[in-house]
Amino acid sequence: MNRKKRIRLGVFKYTCCAGCEFQLIFFQKKILEIFENLEIIYFRMGESGGGEEGPFDLVLIDGAITEAWQADQLKKVRQAAKFLLPIGSCAVNGGIPAIKNSTSELEMEKRVYQQIQPLHSMKAHPVDDYVKVDGYIKGCPMGEKDLVEAVTSLLLGKRANFINYSVCVECKLKGNLCLLIADKLPCMGPVTNAGCGALCPSYGRACYACWGPMEDANSRALAWQFEKMGLEPDDIFRKFTQYASNKLEFRKGAQLYGSTT
Protein backbone atom coordinates (compact mmCIF):
# COMPACT_ATOMS: atom_id res chain seq x y z
CA MET A 1 0.00 0.00 0.00
CA ASN A 2 1.31 3.38 -0.95
CA ARG A 3 0.21 5.60 1.87
CA LYS A 4 1.83 8.89 2.60
CA LYS A 5 2.42 9.79 6.18
CA ARG A 6 -0.07 12.49 7.11
CA ILE A 7 0.52 15.43 9.41
CA ARG A 8 -1.18 14.87 12.75
CA LEU A 9 -2.97 18.14 13.49
CA GLY A 10 -4.25 19.58 16.76
CA VAL A 11 -6.20 22.84 17.07
CA PHE A 12 -6.81 24.35 20.50
CA LYS A 13 -8.98 27.38 21.23
CA TYR A 14 -8.47 29.64 24.22
CA THR A 15 -9.76 33.17 24.79
CA CYS A 16 -10.90 34.58 21.45
CA CYS A 17 -13.72 34.81 18.92
CA ALA A 18 -12.80 31.52 17.16
CA GLY A 19 -12.53 33.44 13.90
CA CYS A 20 -9.12 31.97 13.09
CA GLU A 21 -10.33 28.39 13.56
CA PHE A 22 -13.17 29.40 11.33
CA GLN A 23 -10.74 30.69 8.71
CA LEU A 24 -8.99 27.35 8.84
CA ILE A 25 -12.14 25.63 7.66
CA PHE A 26 -12.21 27.78 4.53
CA PHE A 27 -8.65 27.39 3.49
CA GLN A 28 -9.69 23.93 2.44
CA LYS A 29 -10.90 25.08 -0.92
CA LYS A 30 -7.74 26.87 -1.94
CA ILE A 31 -5.29 24.40 -0.52
CA LEU A 32 -7.26 21.23 -0.56
CA GLU A 33 -4.26 19.14 -1.50
CA ILE A 34 -2.52 20.37 1.64
CA PHE A 35 -5.44 19.44 3.82
CA GLU A 36 -5.49 15.99 2.29
CA ASN A 37 -2.14 15.59 3.98
CA LEU A 38 -3.56 16.40 7.38
CA GLU A 39 -5.06 14.06 9.89
CA ILE A 40 -7.23 15.82 12.47
CA ILE A 41 -6.36 14.54 15.93
CA TYR A 42 -7.99 17.28 18.00
CA PHE A 43 -10.20 20.09 16.69
CA ARG A 44 -13.37 20.46 18.76
CA MET A 45 -14.98 23.09 16.58
CA GLY A 46 -14.63 20.79 13.58
CA GLU A 47 -14.99 17.29 14.99
CA SER A 48 -16.31 15.39 17.99
CA GLY A 49 -13.89 13.38 20.10
CA GLY A 50 -10.13 13.47 19.76
CA GLY A 51 -7.50 13.35 22.48
CA GLU A 52 -5.59 16.26 23.94
CA GLU A 53 -2.59 14.05 24.55
CA GLY A 54 -1.65 13.77 20.85
CA PRO A 55 1.05 13.14 19.78
CA PHE A 56 0.90 15.94 17.21
CA ASP A 57 3.09 16.95 14.31
CA LEU A 58 1.51 20.38 14.22
CA VAL A 59 -0.51 22.25 16.82
CA LEU A 60 -2.28 25.53 16.11
CA ILE A 61 -3.29 27.69 19.06
CA ASP A 62 -6.16 30.14 18.70
CA GLY A 63 -6.71 32.78 21.38
CA ALA A 64 -4.96 34.52 24.24
CA ILE A 65 -4.25 32.91 27.60
CA THR A 66 -6.49 34.39 30.31
CA GLU A 67 -7.12 31.45 32.65
CA ALA A 68 -4.76 29.15 34.54
CA TRP A 69 -6.18 25.91 33.08
CA GLN A 70 -5.35 27.16 29.61
CA ALA A 71 -1.70 27.71 30.54
CA ASP A 72 -1.56 24.22 32.09
CA GLN A 73 -3.06 22.55 29.04
CA LEU A 74 -0.87 24.61 26.70
CA LYS A 75 2.29 23.35 28.41
CA LYS A 76 1.13 19.74 28.08
CA VAL A 77 0.21 20.22 24.46
CA ARG A 78 3.60 21.76 23.78
CA GLN A 79 5.29 18.61 25.06
CA ALA A 80 3.16 16.45 22.77
CA ALA A 81 3.79 18.61 19.69
CA LYS A 82 6.66 18.68 17.22
CA PHE A 83 5.67 22.11 15.96
CA LEU A 84 3.45 24.63 17.68
CA LEU A 85 2.21 27.86 16.12
CA PRO A 86 -0.04 30.57 17.56
CA ILE A 87 -2.63 31.62 14.97
CA GLY A 88 -4.11 35.12 14.87
CA SER A 89 -3.54 38.28 16.86
CA CYS A 90 -4.93 36.98 20.18
CA ALA A 91 -2.54 34.04 20.34
CA VAL A 92 0.37 35.94 18.77
CA ASN A 93 0.10 39.26 20.65
CA GLY A 94 -2.69 39.03 23.21
CA GLY A 95 -4.88 40.83 20.66
CA ILE A 96 -8.19 42.45 21.50
CA PRO A 97 -8.54 40.59 24.85
CA ALA A 98 -5.37 42.36 26.00
CA ILE A 99 -7.04 45.79 25.82
CA LYS A 100 -8.17 45.09 29.38
CA ASN A 101 -4.56 44.76 30.58
CA SER A 102 -4.19 48.48 31.21
CA THR A 103 -7.00 48.37 33.80
CA SER A 104 -7.07 46.29 36.98
CA GLU A 105 -8.61 42.83 36.69
CA LEU A 106 -10.96 43.48 39.60
CA GLU A 107 -12.26 46.66 38.00
CA MET A 108 -12.94 44.75 34.74
CA GLU A 109 -14.79 41.98 36.55
CA LYS A 110 -16.96 44.47 38.43
CA ARG A 111 -17.88 46.33 35.27
CA VAL A 112 -19.30 43.19 33.68
CA TYR A 113 -20.52 40.84 36.44
CA GLN A 114 -22.48 41.49 39.61
CA GLN A 115 -21.22 38.32 41.29
CA ILE A 116 -17.49 38.08 40.78
CA GLN A 117 -16.81 34.96 42.88
CA PRO A 118 -17.09 32.47 39.98
CA LEU A 119 -14.52 34.38 37.90
CA HIS A 120 -10.90 33.36 37.71
CA SER A 121 -9.60 35.41 34.85
CA MET A 122 -6.04 36.72 34.57
CA LYS A 123 -4.52 39.36 32.34
CA ALA A 124 -4.41 38.35 28.67
CA HIS A 125 -1.08 36.99 27.46
CA PRO A 126 0.18 35.73 24.13
CA VAL A 127 1.05 32.05 23.80
CA ASP A 128 4.82 32.65 23.70
CA ASP A 129 4.70 34.06 27.24
CA TYR A 130 4.16 30.46 28.37
CA VAL A 131 5.75 28.13 25.83
CA LYS A 132 8.30 28.13 23.03
CA VAL A 133 6.69 28.62 19.62
CA ASP A 134 7.96 27.70 16.16
CA GLY A 135 6.72 30.79 14.34
CA TYR A 136 3.72 33.10 14.23
CA ILE A 137 0.69 33.12 11.93
CA LYS A 138 -0.28 36.76 12.30
CA GLY A 139 -3.51 38.53 11.40
CA CYS A 140 -7.00 39.22 12.66
CA PRO A 141 -8.24 36.90 11.33
CA MET A 142 -4.99 35.06 10.59
CA GLY A 143 -3.46 35.45 7.14
CA GLU A 144 -3.55 32.69 4.61
CA LYS A 145 -0.07 33.12 3.12
CA ASP A 146 1.76 32.44 6.38
CA LEU A 147 -0.39 29.42 7.15
CA VAL A 148 0.22 27.89 3.72
CA GLU A 149 3.92 28.61 4.17
CA ALA A 150 3.91 26.88 7.56
CA VAL A 151 2.13 23.74 6.35
CA THR A 152 4.06 23.39 3.09
CA SER A 153 7.35 23.92 4.91
CA LEU A 154 6.44 21.18 7.31
CA LEU A 155 5.60 18.84 4.43
CA LEU A 156 8.81 19.67 2.59
CA GLY A 157 10.97 19.67 5.69
CA LYS A 158 12.23 23.20 5.08
CA ARG A 159 12.39 26.26 7.31
CA ALA A 160 9.30 28.48 7.03
CA ASN A 161 9.84 31.96 5.68
CA PHE A 162 7.18 34.17 7.30
CA ILE A 163 6.29 37.70 6.23
CA ASN A 164 8.47 40.06 8.22
CA TYR A 165 8.14 43.60 6.96
CA SER A 166 5.74 46.49 7.51
CA VAL A 167 2.42 47.34 5.86
CA CYS A 168 4.20 50.27 4.18
CA VAL A 169 5.97 47.79 1.91
CA GLU A 170 2.69 46.37 0.70
CA CYS A 171 1.31 49.88 0.12
CA LYS A 172 4.32 50.73 -2.03
CA LEU A 173 3.96 47.49 -3.99
CA LYS A 174 0.33 48.32 -4.66
CA GLY A 175 1.13 51.89 -5.60
CA ASN A 176 -1.11 53.36 -2.87
CA LEU A 177 -0.80 57.01 -2.00
CA CYS A 178 0.63 57.34 1.54
CA LEU A 179 -2.24 58.22 3.88
CA LEU A 180 0.13 59.37 6.61
CA ILE A 181 1.97 61.88 4.42
CA ALA A 182 -0.60 62.91 1.82
CA ASP A 183 -3.81 62.78 3.84
CA LYS A 184 -2.38 63.31 7.34
CA LEU A 185 -4.28 60.29 8.62
CA PRO A 186 -2.87 58.56 11.75
CA CYS A 187 -1.86 55.36 9.96
CA MET A 188 -0.26 52.54 11.98
CA GLY A 189 1.17 50.97 8.80
CA PRO A 190 4.85 51.85 9.46
CA VAL A 191 4.95 49.78 12.68
CA THR A 192 2.50 47.02 11.74
CA ASN A 193 3.46 43.63 10.34
CA ALA A 194 2.37 43.10 6.74
CA GLY A 195 0.38 40.19 5.33
CA CYS A 196 -3.03 41.78 4.83
CA GLY A 197 -2.07 43.29 1.47
CA ALA A 198 -2.32 46.84 2.87
CA LEU A 199 -6.05 46.29 3.14
CA CYS A 200 -7.21 49.40 5.02
CA PRO A 201 -5.05 51.92 3.12
CA SER A 202 -6.34 50.40 -0.13
CA TYR A 203 -9.87 51.17 1.08
CA GLY A 204 -8.98 54.75 2.05
CA ARG A 205 -8.60 54.00 5.74
CA ALA A 206 -5.68 54.36 8.12
CA CYS A 207 -4.21 51.01 9.22
CA TYR A 208 -5.23 50.19 12.80
CA ALA A 209 -2.58 47.55 13.43
CA CYS A 210 -4.75 44.44 13.67
CA TRP A 211 -1.79 42.23 12.67
CA GLY A 212 0.26 43.55 15.57
CA PRO A 213 3.77 45.02 15.54
CA MET A 214 6.50 44.31 13.07
CA GLU A 215 9.60 43.04 14.85
CA ASP A 216 11.73 45.89 16.23
CA ALA A 217 9.33 48.56 14.95
CA ASN A 218 10.08 52.09 16.09
CA SER A 219 6.72 52.95 17.64
CA ARG A 220 8.05 55.88 19.59
CA ALA A 221 8.93 57.76 16.42
CA LEU A 222 5.47 57.15 14.99
CA ALA A 223 3.85 58.27 18.27
CA TRP A 224 5.80 61.52 18.08
CA GLN A 225 4.64 61.95 14.51
CA PHE A 226 1.03 61.53 15.67
CA GLU A 227 1.65 64.12 18.37
CA LYS A 228 2.96 66.59 15.80
CA MET A 229 -0.14 65.94 13.70
CA GLY A 230 -2.23 67.13 16.68
CA LEU A 231 -3.57 63.88 18.14
CA GLU A 232 -4.53 64.02 21.82
CA PRO A 233 -2.37 61.92 24.19
CA ASP A 234 -5.22 59.53 24.96
CA ASP A 235 -5.86 59.00 21.24
CA ILE A 236 -2.22 58.02 20.74
CA PHE A 237 -2.40 55.73 23.75
CA ARG A 238 -5.45 53.96 22.29
CA LYS A 239 -3.73 53.44 18.95
CA PHE A 240 -0.93 51.45 20.56
CA THR A 241 -3.11 49.48 22.97
CA GLN A 242 -5.87 48.23 20.67
CA TYR A 243 -4.18 45.12 19.29
CA ALA A 244 -0.99 44.30 21.10
CA SER A 245 -0.79 46.22 24.35
CA ASN A 246 1.54 43.51 25.71
CA LYS A 247 4.14 43.74 23.01
CA LEU A 248 7.28 45.69 23.75
CA GLU A 249 7.21 47.41 20.35
CA PHE A 250 3.79 48.91 20.98
CA ARG A 251 4.36 49.62 24.65
CA LYS A 252 7.11 51.97 23.60
CA GLY A 253 4.53 53.96 21.67
CA ALA A 254 1.85 53.80 24.35
CA GLN A 255 3.75 54.36 27.57
CA LEU A 256 4.54 58.03 26.98
CA TYR A 257 0.82 58.74 26.86
CA GLY A 258 -0.74 56.53 29.54
CA SER A 259 -0.15 53.64 31.93
CA THR A 260 0.11 50.27 30.20
CA THR A 261 0.13 48.07 33.29
Partner 1 sequence: MDQQPEPRTISIDYLARVEGETDLVVKIGEEDLDITLKIFEPPRFFEGFLVGRKYDEVGDIGSRICGICPISHMTTTLQAVEKAMGIDPSPQTKHLRRLMCLAQIVASHIVHLYMFALPDYFGYPGFVGMMPRFEKEKNNFLHMKEAMNRVGEVIGGRALNPISLVVNGFTQIPAKSSLLSLAQGIEKVLPMARETAHLIGRLPYPDFKVDTEFISLRHQHEYAINEGVFTSSKGGSWSIDEYQEQFIEEQVDYAMAKKCLLKGRGPFMVGALARVNIKFDQFHEETKKLAEDVCFNVPDYNPFHNNVAQALEIYEGMIECHRLLTSLNPQKEKPVVKIRSGPGTAVTEAPRGLLVHGYTLNQRGIVEKANLVTPTSHNFANIEKDLKALAEKFYQPDNPDDLKKKCEQLIRAYDPCFSCSVH
Per CB under 8 A, residues contacting partner 1 are 13-23, 25-26, 28-29, 35, 40, 43-50, 66-67, 70, 95-97, 99-100, 103, 107-109, 111-115, 118-119, 121, 124, 140-141, 196, 199-200, 202-205, 208, 210, 235, 238, 242
Toward partner 1, which CB reaches closer, 160 or 236? 236
Closer residue to partner 1 (CB): 28 or 79: 28
- Non-local (6+) Cβ contacts of 32 within 8 A are none
Nearest approach, Cβ of residue 235 and partner 1 (Å):
7
Rounded Cα distance, 48 and 139, in Å: 27
In angstroms, give the least distance from the CB of 216 to partner 1. 25
The neighbour count for residue 184, using CB atoms within 10 Å, is 11
Q: Rank residues 50 and 148 by Cβ distance to partner 1 and give the closer one.
A: 50
Nearer to partner 1, 20 or 80 (CB): 20
Nearest CA among 68, 60, 26 for reference residue 44: 60
Least distance to partner 1 from the beta carbon of 100, Å?
A: 4
Least distance in angstroms from the C-beta of 28 to partner 1: 7
Cβ nearer to partner 1, comparing 49 with 157: 49
Phi-psi region of 178 (alpha: psi -120 to 50; beta: other; left: phi over 0): beta
How far apart are alpha carbons 261 and 255 in whole angstroms?
A: 9
Whole-number Å distance between alpha carbons of 110 and 114: 6
> Whole-number minimum distance, CB 66 to partner 1, in Å?
5
CA distance 195 to 201: 13
Q: Which is nearer to partner 1, 58 or 210 (CB)?
A: 210
Question: Taking the complex as a whole, how short is the minimal distance between the CB of residue 118 and partner 1, in angstroms?
Answer: 6
Q: How many whole angstroms separate alpha carbon 258 and alpha carbon 251? A: 10
